[in-house]
Amino acid sequence: MRIVFAGTPEFARIAFEALRAAGHDIVLALTQPDRPAGRGLKLTPSPVKQAALAAGVEVAQPRSLKLDGRYPDEAAQARALLGRAAPDVMVVAAYGLILPQWVLDLPRLGCLNIHASLLPRWRGAAPIQRAIEAGDAQTGVTIMQMDAGLDTGDMLLEKIVPIGADTDAAQLHDALAQAGGQAIVETLAALESGGLPRRPQPAEGVTYAAKLEKAEAALDCAQPAGLLARRVRAFNPVPGASIRLPGLADPVKVWRARALPGDAGAAPGTVLRATAEGVDIATADGVLRLLELQKAGGKRQAADVFVRGWQP
C-alpha cells in the first residue's frame, strides 16, 4: 500500500520500520519539529525523522494541520503534500498533533492509529504509565480507525501484552512497540486481502490516561505502599519518582521499589531502617522498600551502595 506515516518517538519508529520491512511504500512521513535535547540542548530530529531520512522518505514537520489554526501556511503546505502523496492509508502512532477532518477524510482507507492500550481502557496521552500505576495485569495495542474523537474510533485488531509484577514503563513501552509494529502489518495485510471487521468500542470500561505531570513524581507516603511501588515502575524512566530523605537537601530519585505488607507501626514517611536490602519507609498501608536510588547530580545506585554513603 501507499502509506503516509505520522509519528514521532521511538514507539512510532518501530512501526515505521515494520511497515517498510513488510514491503509497504511509505511515501511521506509527518513528524514533530526538531526539539532541543541533551546537555547542549542541540536541536535533534525525532526517531521517526531519522528513520525516514535514512530510508529516503520525504519528511514534513508542520506545527499544526489546522487550516484555520495558528500556522495556516504550514497546514496548507502539508495538505498539498498529502494530496500529491495520494495515500491508500495514513498510519498514525504517537504523532502529537490533532488530525482535523480533512486529514481523516483524505486517504482512501482513512487513518489508522496504533494505540498502546486495549481500548476503551486508557484512552488518552499516557496509557502505558497509567496501566502500570493502576495495577493492570495486562494491556496491549489496538489498531483503531480514527475519527474526530479522542481515541474513540472503531477497533480493527488488538494484541494483548501482559504486565509483570516488576515491569516498568520502559520495558512495557518496548514490548508494546513491537506488538504495535506486528499489529499494523497484520491489519494492512487483512485489509489488502478483503477487509477487516470494524467493531465499535464498548460504552462500558472507558478510562482516560491523563498526561503525566511532574508534580506526580513526588511520592506521598500517606498513600499505600502498593500504589507507590507501582508509581515508581510507571514513572521509570520519565519523569522518575522521587522522595525526600533526612539529611539530604534535595529529593532523591527512586528507580526501583517494592511494597512490603504489614503495619509499619510508625508515621507515614518515617525511615524504618536502611540496610543493604533496601531503605524501608513507612506508608499509610505497608512499607515501601527503596531498592535503587539516585542522589541529585549522582548516578543510580543499588540500595547497598546508596546506604553506605548516607545514614538517616
Q: What is the pLDDT of residues 183-213, one digit of tens each?
A: 999 999 999 988 789 999 999 999 999 999 9
Rounded distance between C-alpha atoms, residue 14 and residue 5, angstroms: 12
C-alpha Rg value of the chain to the nearest Å:
22
Rounded distance between C-alpha atoms, residue 247 and residue 100, angstroms: 53
Task: Examine the pLDDT at 165 and tell me if it is beyond 90.
Answer: yes
**φ/ψ (deg, to 5) at 43:** -60, 125
- What integer pLDDT is reported at residue 123 of this predicted model? 98
Average pLDDT over residues 36-42: 85
Rounded distance between C-alpha atoms, residue 140 and residue 161, angstroms: 5
Domains 2-209 and 214-308 share a fold: no
Residues β-bridged to residue 36: 43
- What integer pLDDT is reported at residue 265 of this predicted model? 86
Q: What is the mean pLDDT of the chain?
A: 96
Candidates 3.40.50.170, 3.30.360.10, 3.40.50.11610, 3.40.50.300; CATH matching 2-209: 3.40.50.170
- What integer pLDDT is reported at residue 194 of this predicted model? 82
End-to-end CA distance of the chain: 62
Three cell numbers written together for 262: 504489614
Average pLDDT over residues 50-75: 97
Of the given ranges (38-42, 151-155, 241-245), which has the lowest mean pLDDT? 38-42
What residue spans define the domains of the chain?
A: 2-209, 214-308
Rounded distance between C-alpha atoms, residue 94 and residue 127, angstroms: 11
Q: Show the 3-state SS of 102-133.
A: HHHHCCCCCEEEEECCCCCCCEECCHHHHHHH
Cis peptide before 120 (omega within 30 of 0): yes
What type of residue sits at position 308?
R
Collapsing DSSP to helix, strand or coil, 155 comes out as strand
- What integer pLDDT is reported at residue 234 of this predicted model? 98
- What integer pLDDT is reported at residue 32 of this predicted model? 97
**φ/ψ (deg, to 5) at 5:** -110, 130
Rounded distance between C-alpha atoms, residue 97 and residue 289, angstroms: 40
- What integer pLDDT is reported at residue 38 of this predicted model? 80
What type of residue sits at position 89?
V
- Write the CB contacts of 132 (distance below 8 Å, at least 6 apart in sequence): 163, 167, 168, 169, 172, 230, 233, 234
Task: Examine the pLDDT at 262 and tell me if it is beyond 90.
Answer: no
What is the fold of 214-308? Methionyl-tRNA Fmet Formyltransferase; Chain A, domain 2 (3.10.25)
Average pLDDT over residues 27-47: 93
The predicted-structure confidence for 6-29, as pLDDT tens digits, reads as follows 999 999 999 999 999 999 999 999
Rounded distance between C-alpha atoms, residue 261 and residue 246, angstroms: 24
Strand 111-115 and strand 278-282: the pairing is unpaired
- Write the CB contacts of 267 (distance below 8 Å, at least 6 apart in sequence): 282
- What integer pLDDT is reported at residue 312 of this predicted model? 67
**φ/ψ (deg, to 5) at 104:** -60, -30
Three cell numbers written together for 147: 475519527
The predicted-structure confidence for 233-253, as pLDDT tens digits, reads as follows 999 999 999 999 999 999 999
